[in-house]
Amino acid sequence: MAVDTRNDGVQTSDGARKSKLMSTKQTSPKGDHIRRVGIVFSGGPAPAANAVISTAAISFLEDDRQVVGFFHGYSSLQDYNAQTNRLLPDTHYRAFTERDLRGLRNSRGIIIGTARANPGRSIETEADLAHPEKAARLRNVYHAMVDLEIDALISIGGDDTLKTANYLYMFQQKLPPSSRKFQVIHLPKTIDNDYKGIDFTVGFFTAVDVMAKEVQNLRADAMATGSYFIVQTMGRKAGWLSYGVGIAGEANLIIATEDVDDSIGLIEESTDENGVVKKERRLNLDALVDRVVNLIITRERRDKHYGAVVLAEGLSELLPESSLKNLPRDEHGHLSLGRINLAGTVAEMAMERYHARTGRRKKLTGVQLGYESRSAPPHAFDVMLGSQLGIGAYRALVEENLDGYMVSAGGQLDLTYVPFKDLIDPVNLKTDIRYIRHGSDFFRLARFLETRTDKIADWSPGGRSEG
């Protein structure tokens, strides 16, 4: 159950408990033993990353506690060895000073860098955490923290980084009681906004804003040229980003992974390594192309000869397995979706399908969006949310003495603390993903606005003849 802190100072978790606000410090906080804190940022960049890092760090520094920022995620930590591969100050980490953190909240980029290094890559079950080889890199991280006298680690990142944070937490639970341990707190950061336990994640609104403006620019271009743009946005697993971009960018059609139903899906059978036959719904690319062509023809009947379609990049992962088996994957086993130009493929196929059905030519252009949004100037809401989550790390550790929790914020940025066990599948140890629910108000909003993106005009230049 989440620990819930409200502005009235009353906290509830399995019953009401008194809580102090940050401004009314007790003489002996629960986490007073936490004197040295480490911060690691892992995964893809996100706007307002520095708001999270700087606010978390300054909260501890102002309370006379030390803060260490590790460079480039777990890259150096997972290879740590006290004799052969030591960590050096200002080479592998920075012991922050107050001066380091001034004026960072609205800055771009990530002051300590990031990487996708995955020390838990070999872990598949809880038993693997005790395996000498599979847990070797997690053990290296553990020894690095202990040798640097880190009392608590603040993990900042997406769902894969949360998974790593949980590995480190569980790894330590299996150590002898006399072993030195460090507490683990996670702060949710991802432009994908696919976390359970929090309404909106740091970076989401900025990314939506940046990409929605691009879609609006493309729609203006499409209107001028009588053409269509197929826009592929980031969003590997859930459709929050593509839906947000499509709604704010006034797209004429939005399709995400949640929309792959019987109408644009197919059932594929495959056999796993144990010989078990499983059935999975996959994307029917031909049906998706027909959906796009149907949109074009329908709009032409309304004398609308242009438009924009937004596709979530995660649709690529639902292509038939035969199309994906030889493609490159990252440290977390994910397909490199940026290398799969789904938007370009759909645009090319739709042009041919449109010509076959109508005898006419129509220009469609595929565009991939995402990277330009990850380090854009942060939206004010992301700065506020990131700052609150950063302070939440201090409060979770020093005021509440929590271990194995994610910091969350909702309502009027009220802080809550969600245990890892509520966010992680206990069998496969993967993080639970929050999808857009069919029939939800957000889902219905997208469907409603798809048909209402155009001004009613007395005249228009009509369709353009393509040679």
Quick: pLDDT tens for 230-278.
999 998 889 999 999 999 999 999 999 999 999 999 998 877 767 788 8
Residue 379: DSSP 8-state: P
Length of the chain measured in residues: 467
Burial class of residue 60 in the structure, from the number of CB atoms within 10 Å of its CB (0-12 exposed, 13-18 middle, 19+ buried): buried
Report which of 255, 67, 52 is spatially closest to residue 161, judged by C-alpha positions: 52
E strands, 76-224, in order: 93-95, 152-157, 183-188
Each residue's pLDDT, cut to its tens digit, for the chain (467 residues) gives 666 654 444 334 443 333 333 444 445 678 899 999 999 999 999 999 999 999 999 999 999 999 999 999 999 999 999 999 999 999 999 999 999 999 999 999 999 999 999 999 999 999 999 999 999 999 999 999 999 999 999 999 999 999 999 999 999 999 999 999 999 999 999 999 999 999 999 999 999 999 999 999 999 999 999 999 999 999 888 999 999 999 999 999 999 999 999 999 999 887 776 778 888 899 999 999 999 999 999 999 999 999 999 999 999 989 887 665 555 555 545 555 556 789 999 999 999 999 999 999 999 999 999 999 999 999 999 999 999 999 999 999 999 999 999 999 999 999 999 999 999 999 999 999 999 999 999 999 999 998 765 565 666 676 777 76
Nearest CA to 108 out of 417, 377, 393 is that of 377
| Triad 278, 434, 156: Cα angle to 5° | 115
Strand bridging mode 414-419 / 265-271? unpaired
- Of 419, 442, 427, the closest CA to residue 197 belongs to 419
Q: Which helix (H) or strand (E) holds 295?
A: helix 285-301
Residue of 178, 180, 168 whose CA lies nearest to 135: 168
pTM of the model: 0.87
Other Cβ atoms closer than 10 A to 193: 25
Taking CB atoms within 8 Å and a gap of at least 24, the contacts of 141-144 are: 141/74, 141/77, 141/78, 141/80, 141/168, 142/168, 142/171, 142/172, 143/80, 143/82, 144/77, 144/80, 144/87
Q: Which residues, 6+ apart, have CB-to-CB distance to 413 below 8 Å?
A: 384, 385, 388
> Residue 446 is inside which H or E element, if any?
helix 441-450
* Residue 361: how many other CB atoms lie within 10 Å: 12
